[in-house]
Each structure stands twice: as structure tokens, then as C-alpha cells.
Amino acid sequence: MSEAKVKLDAFYGVKAGMTRIFDENGNHIPVTVIKLIPNIVTQVKTVAKDGYTAYQLGYGEKRESLLVKPMKGHLAKAGTKLNVTHFSEVKATEVSDAVLGQEVSLEGFEANVFIDVTGISKGKGFQGVMKRYNFRGGPGSHGSHFHRRPGSMGNRATPGRIFKNKKMPGHMGVDTQTVQNLKIVEVNTEKGYLLIKGSVPGGKEGFVRITKALKKN
């Protein structure tokens, strides 16, 4: 793999957890620790072939025995020796085949830069309306048979059905969520971590997408 690096507006990391730091005035700052991992350009999308321009990034290394043959061929074509198993695309106005196999640079992502972070929220399983949508619920005292139920859904012949998007019990969590305008507190490429002020979606060891903030410079 080439030592050259390509500059993009997005990269992927691993959420390591949360901690806190103190600034020079002794103020307490809660931060999320992001583990920096290699992001490799594994494919170049062009208008002529794909109808749009973008770079496919590979990340999340695993041992070679866990790779299937098509994936091995895909990585060999990209010219990388890293056994990455996750792939996502980053849009680019201009693309070049010369960057195939190169690692994404963190240039432009430094302290005090605002970013947007996208991750998959924690799964909560099947939940009722009180936990899922913060419904008030019924009386909690004895004798009441209406404690945590959602209440009436509408009866009679009209409309005779439940409207779409009605707030009801169901699967909660595992949604792709984006938190905007978070600030980078520290970037340490030598030790391989990045500190973001505040919390980001997802649990520990989950992948997160970090991009330049769209609404704030």
C-alpha cells in the first residue's frame, strides 16, 4: 500500500467510550473517545461507469481467514494488504484512480473543528409506548387495569383501521442517527484517538462516521 494519503471530508472510527477531561481553567468537559482506524480507498466510482462520483472506503480489519474469496479479490484489486471487511462510500466532486489503495488523511480534522457524527443507536428490543414514546400511562394505583397500555386506537367502522405511523409498541433502537455540530477537543494520531465534546450515537466498539459539519464552520 502506498504511503501517500488522500484528503476527504469524512472518515470512519470506532467508539471506545466516554470519559472527561479538564481545560486550563479547571472546567470539566465530557468527551467521547474515538479510536482512529485505517480508512482505505478500495474503489473509485465514476460517472461513466456508475453514474456518480464517489470513493468507497474500507475499514474494520479482521484476520484473513474470515474473508471470503470475492472480498479478497476486491481488496487485491485495490492494492491493499489490510483485511478490511466494512465498506461505505463518500461522495466527491472529483475522483482519481491514482488514490486507489491509499489511506484517508485526517488533515482538516483538528481541535475546535465542528463535525457531524453518524452512528447506529443502541438496540432496546421490543418496547411499549411509555418507554418508546414517553407516553404518560394510566393510574398506577391498585384497582386500575390501565397502567402502561397505549389507550384507545380508534374504533367503529370509520376509519376501521389503524393509520400509518401510529405510535404503538414495537422495536426500539438500532436506528441510524446523526448528531450535528459537535466540536473536536483533541486529535492524537500517535496514540490513535480523537476526543469529541459530548456524546455520539451507538454503543462501545461501534463504528461511527465523522464528517465536516454541514451547518457550522
Output the CATH code of domain 5-123+176-212. Answer: 2.40.30.10
Contact 37, 12 (CB under 8 A): yes
Q: DSSP assignment, residue 69?
A: H
Domain ranges for the chain: 5-123+176-212, 124-172
Kindly tell me the burial class for residue 186, based on how many C-beta atoms sit within 10 Å of its own C-beta (0-12, 13-18, 19 or more).
Answer: middle
The answer on pLDDT for 2 being more than 70 is no
Mean pLDDT of 157-165: 86
Question: Which pLDDT does position 10 carry in this prediction?
Answer: 95
The answer on pLDDT for 174 being more than 90 is yes
Question: Which pLDDT does position 3 carry in this prediction?
Answer: 66
What pLDDT digit, counting tens, does each position of 188-213 carry? 999 999 999 999 999 999 999 999 99
CA distance 97 to 76: 15
Question: Which pLDDT does position 159 carry in this prediction?
Answer: 81
- Between strands 103-105 and 5-7, the pairing is parallel
Note the pTM of the prediction, 2 decimals. 0.87
% of the chain exceeding 70 in pLDDT: 98
Mean pLDDT of 40-61: 95
Task: Report DSSP letters for 7-55, one per residue.
Answer: E-SEEEEEEEEEEEEE-TT--EEEEEEEEE---EEEEEE-HHHHSS-EE
CA distance 83 to 62: 6
